[in-house]
Chains A and B, each alone.
Chain A
Amino acid sequence: EAGVTQFPSHSVIEKGQTVTLRCDPISGHDNLYWYRRVMGKEIKFLLHFVKESKQDESGMPNNRFLAERTGGTYSTLKVQPAELEDSGVYFCASSPRQGSSPLHFGNGTRLTVT
């Protein structure tokens, strides 16, 4: 089974520009999550989709971040406009169900805002 894939693996943009990160979850996984690790900090939860619906977006830092999951398959996370403090690694994860089901993480997108 293919794992969670994220694209791009790296992105370098200038402050004020827009970047869109993509995540393809494991096929059949209804639950999709975004996490991020900003420089020097711990990995933190951003939001959770169940199919195409946002279940919990309590971790989204501000309205410059927009996540979508049209059709309940892949998801995108757009940062517009990007700020320096948005630099970090953005992880996507998926799981077949909630509860005690473990999360399967992708390898992340390393975002650098200059």
Chain B
Amino acid sequence: LAKTTQPISMDSYEGQEVNITCSHNNIATNDYITWYQQFPSQGPRFIIQGYKTKVTNEVASLFIPADRKSSTLSLPRVSLSDTAVYYCLVGDVDSSYKLIFGSGTRLLVRP
């Protein structure tokens, strides 16, 4: 499974848009890109998944350039409750359950 690189931490303020970029230079043709969010004392929670271009749901957008070597999770107008660790994971469809979690990005949203 492809290895990912993300910033260790990010700070933001309420109401701002937050963009977290993940690098996955060795992504394979069959790999999907998935983002999870984790709060303290809870399990990871699925946010969004994509293969190419742009995906949007009710909580976030995922931007994937044509070469797919990186992806950007965009959180619009963050609130204090978005303070969490965000994980970018890459894996192929057949073994996508075998998630490889890196260190994630610790997002702190300030008032």
Contact = CB atoms under 8 A, between A and B. Distances in A.
B67 interface: no
Contact of A42 (B46, B93, B102): B102
B58 interface: no
Given A48-B97, A103-B99, A43 B49 contact: no
Given A100-B32, A100-B49, A102-B49, A108 B97 contact: no
A33 B97 contact: yes
B96 interface: yes
B29 interface: no
A99 B102 contact: no
Nearest to A102: B46
Given A100-B32, A100-B49, A107-B42, A45 B96 contact: no
Interface in A38-93: 42-45, 48, 56, 59, 91, 93
B45 A105 contact: yes
Given A42-B102, A106-B43, A100 B97 contact: no
- Secondary structure type dominating chain B contacts: loop
A43 B45 CA distance: 13
Nearest to B48: A102
Contacts of B44: 43, 91, 103, 105
Contacts of A101: 96
A59 B98 CA distance: 9
B23 to A, nearest CB: 17
B94 interface: yes
B93 A45 contact: no
A45 B99 contact: yes
B102 A103 contact: no
Contacts of A103: 44, 46, 97, 99
B46 A107 contact: no
A4 interface: yes
Interface of B: 32, 34, 41-46, 49, 93-94, 96-103
